[in-house]
Amino acid sequence: MRKKYEPQMTFGQTPIKDIKIDLRSRDEIPKLLLGLQHIFCNTELRKAVFDILETMTPEKVDSKNGRPGMDLWKILVMGTIRLNCNWDYDKLQEIVNNHKTIRQMLGHGMMDDDKTYPLQTMKDNVSLLTPEILDKINAIVVKEGHKLLLKKKTRR
């Protein structure tokens, strides 16, 4: 069974809820990171997303044998960024290994500069995020977005 995410904070790691995201940026990455931050910080939404992600492990994989796979959270972050930015795996590898805010969202602290993601590892794991799985996640995230809009309108 894959870990959902690493709950034990490491030295120098910023909690996901405290990651500072540049709201003035016109790039798509900060908007994606804000959405991912909301998913992670909303316990009910995070559980629903992880329930879906847990279904993506191929049936032929023996979870009791071999190395543990990449955390589900990392797969979601990398897969979301790759698909929304329309990047190939080479571009994704460059960004996740060097972009400070994305690395924070992946759970890395200031002492983790030597932790990088090999290209094949990323391909093997991020490719598990199929269009069907993304459609299911999208459906619950859109519902959450509608709830947020309703709350905003009723506060006025």
The answer to whether residue 25 is domain-embedded is yes
The answer to whether residue 113 is domain-embedded is yes
The answer to whether residue 1 is domain-embedded is no
The number of domains in the chain is: 1
Tokens 């995020």 sit on residue: 129
- Percent residues over pLDDT 70 in the chain: 92
Range of the domain at 81: 16-155
The answer to whether residue 6 is domain-embedded is no
Tokens 């199929």 sit on residue: 130
Question: Given this model, what pLDDT does residue 9 score?
Answer: 82
The answer to whether residue 22 is domain-embedded is yes
Question: Given this model, what pLDDT does residue 5 score?
Answer: 87
Among left, alpha and beta (phi > 0; psi -120 to 50; other), residue 12 is left
The answer to whether residue 10 is domain-embedded is no
The answer, yes or no, to whether residue 147 has pLDDT greater than 90, is no
Say which residue, 153 or 24, is predicted with more confidence.
24
pLDDT tens per residue, range 22-79: 999 999 999 999 999 999 999 999 999 999 999 887 666 655 655 667 899 999 999 9
Tokens of 122: 């990323």
The answer to whether residue 11 is domain-embedded is no
Helix (H, G, I), strand (E, B) or coil at 118: coil
Question: Given this model, what pLDDT does residue 65 score?
Answer: 57
The answer to whether residue 9 is domain-embedded is no
Q: What is the rounded distance in angstroms from the CA atom of residue 93 to the CA atom of residue 73?
A: 16
Question: Given this model, what pLDDT does residue 1 score?
Answer: 60
The answer, yes or no, to whether residue 141 has pLDDT greater than 90, is yes
Q: How confident is the model at residue 8 (pLDDT cuts 50, 70, 90)?
A: confident
Residue 12: other Cβ atoms inside 10 A: 10
Question: Counting Cβ atoms within 10 Å, is residue 30 exposed (0-12), middle (13-18) or buried (19+)?
Answer: middle
Say which residue, 5 or 90, is predicted with more confidence.
90
